[in-house]
Amino acid sequence: LAHLLKYDSVHGTLEATIRAEADQIMVDGKKVKVLSVKDPAEIPWTDLGVEIVIEATGIFTLKNDGVNKKGREVRGAVNHISKGGAKKVIITAPAKEEDLTIVMGVNDDQYDPNEHHVVSNASCTTNCLAPVAKVLQQKFGIKRGLMTTVHSYTNDQQILDLPHSDLRRARAAGLSIIPTTTGAARAVALVLPELKGKLNGFAMRVPTPNVSVVDFVAELAQSPVSAEEINAALKEAAENGLNGIMDYNELPLVSSDYNGDPHSSIVDGLSTMVIADNLIKVVAWYDNEWGYSCRVADLVAFMVNKGL
């Protein structure tokens, strides 16, 4: 773990003094405790002084004990609180039975520290699409939309052809464009309820290690509308209400240029299109690793400020 923290194939070398010790990692003299416990109920968070648990294993995505989407019997994330003594849990994935799904800049105002203890930060793709959808819905109204995320490969694919519950993800990640499912578009309705039943989409996994892009096509309620009007609305939001969450760009960049970008969503203004007055396409980039990690950190700080 210490070695992987120091050296990252995508994000480079961390400029810090890092060394591994028996049960901890030292980072610039600061001790980071390392545990190896399979059951969330057995982790002594109270003894460690931990109040917020970032549940990033990808396994414990249910609030309560049950069967996850892969058909595996798993412990619920609430055990971090009920057994481990933490105060809050943030699941870094779409969750089930969570108290609230939060996308920063979109619905964080709904957080109630007295009611919401196990929360989901949704997926990186939902964090990219939701700010764009929010602006389009507020300014023009969305009748319906379809999203394709052209997504870098992830650990839920095979590096060589090997068995997988998704036969397409079973194929070598670095050798093909791989169509697969995503609930990211439908999950937008969890943070923008007025869009429930209006959005859907899927993913194309591509042989790049990081940075992804959402291609969103929607029919707007307002008609006619121009690409210039759409870009103006997105640019205005990026500079004001969604500053730091969404960015707007008109440079002719490619995916590698967005590696390390901290925004959830970067609108590619050059790619905006309109036909038949109200059928529109908006393209938005995102660093699916770093950008999402920045939002998790923002959510932690936000919850602390609001109260635990």
Active site residues: 124
Cα–Cα distance between 136 and 142 in angstroms, integer? 7
Q: Is 219 helix (H, G, I), strand (E, B) or coil?
A: strand
Structure tokens at 231: 């870009």
Structure tokens at 130: 């939701």
Compute how many other C-beta atoms are within 10 angstroms of the C-beta atom of residue 36.
Answer: 5
Cα–Cα distance between 174 and 237 in angstroms, integer? 36
DSSP string computed for 142-196: EEEEEEEEEEE--TTSBSSS---SSTTTTSBTTTS-EEEE--HHHHHHHH-GGGT
Q: Is 215 helix (H, G, I), strand (E, B) or coil?
A: strand
